[in-house]
Structure 1
Amino acid sequence: MIFINVQFHVKPEYKDTFLDEVNWYTEACNAEPGCLDFKWFRDPQDEQRFLLLETYADGEGVAHVQSEHFKRSCEEFPQYLLETPDIINFRIEGKTSWDKMAEFSV
């Protein structure tokens, strides 16, 4: 599995519309083969900060960054941002799905 976490700091004028502005990208990524999760979260203490959590099946990362919607996002996203996003990504070889958390077993 490939995990990608990106922190976005948006301009004040986009704090309430950012997710709507980029919804085309969210929908396109969620429709990609191999996309397991693509979800946005807003920081409850700073309305201008968003966290994007992406999870892809192993081997699908190249297709994502070569897609037309990713290329479009590279052109369009900077207009909404105050600064370059922070990113971290990592791969777990051979992992294909989430595990269950035994400590909170239901």
Structure 2
Amino acid sequence: MIFIVIRIDVRPEKREDFLEGIVRYSGQVREEPGNLVFSCYESVERANEFTVLANYVDQAAGEAHVTSGHAKWFFGWLPSVVTEQPKIVFQELPGEGWGPMGEVVMEPRESEPA
């Protein structure tokens, strides 16, 4: 599995442009074969700092993503809305996706009354 985290700092005056673009791009990426997750989140501590999480089943799916028309559009468009070059963490990990967090133990829930 490929695991990618990208930090994007958006220019305040370009915030709405970024939000429109990332919504468009997110929908396109989620339709790609081999995409497991593509989500974008804004920091609760720093306005206009966004984090993208992306997971692909394998290297081939990640490479197909990078060469897609919508990715080429996004990579070309992104400099127009950011304050600096985005930062990325890219890792190839064993496994097939998200698993349960072992440190958190869930108690069985009782059924709520109707």
Fold in common (TM above 0.5): yes
Deviation at 1:105, TM superposition (A): 3.3
On the 8 A contact 1:38/1:54 being kept in 2, the answer is: yes
Partner amino acid, structure 2, of 1:58: D
In the alignment, the residues of structure 1 paired with residue 84 and residue 73 of structure 2 have an alpha-carbon distance, to the nearest angstrom, of 18
What is the alpha-carbon root mean square deviation over aligned residues?
A: 1.4
On the 8 A contact 1:41/1:50 being kept in 2, the answer is: yes
On the 8 A contact 1:37/1:56 being kept in 2, the answer is: yes
Runs of 4+ in 1 over 4 A off after TM superposition: none
Aligned residues, how many?
A: 105
- Match of 1:15, SS state, is helix
Q: What are the ranges of 5 or more consecutive residues in structure 1 without an aligned counterpart?
A: none
Aligned to 2:18: 18
Partner amino acid, structure 2, of 1:70: A
- Segment drifting more, 58-67 vs 8-17: 8-17
Aligned: 1:85 with 2:82: no
- Segment drifting more, 2-11 vs 56-65: 56-65
On the 8 A contact 2:15/2:81 being kept in 1, the answer is: no
TM-score, normalised with respect to structure 1: 0.90
In the alignment, the residues of structure 2 paired with residue 81 and residue 2 of structure 1 have an alpha-carbon distance, to the nearest angstrom, of 25
Rg larger for:
2
In the alignment, the residues of structure 2 paired with residue 22 and residue 99 of structure 1 have an alpha-carbon distance, to the nearest angstrom, of 27
Q: What are the ranges of 5 or more consecutive residues in structure 2 without an aligned counterpart?
A: 107-114
In the alignment, the residues of structure 1 paired with residue 3 and residue 33 of structure 2 have an alpha-carbon distance, to the nearest angstrom, of 15
On the 8 A contact 1:58/1:96 being kept in 2, the answer is: no
TM-score, normalised with respect to structure 2: 0.84
In the alignment, the residues of structure 2 paired with residue 82 and residue 12 of structure 1 have an alpha-carbon distance, to the nearest angstrom, of 9
In the alignment, the residues of structure 2 paired with residue 15 and residue 67 of structure 1 have an alpha-carbon distance, to the nearest angstrom, of 25
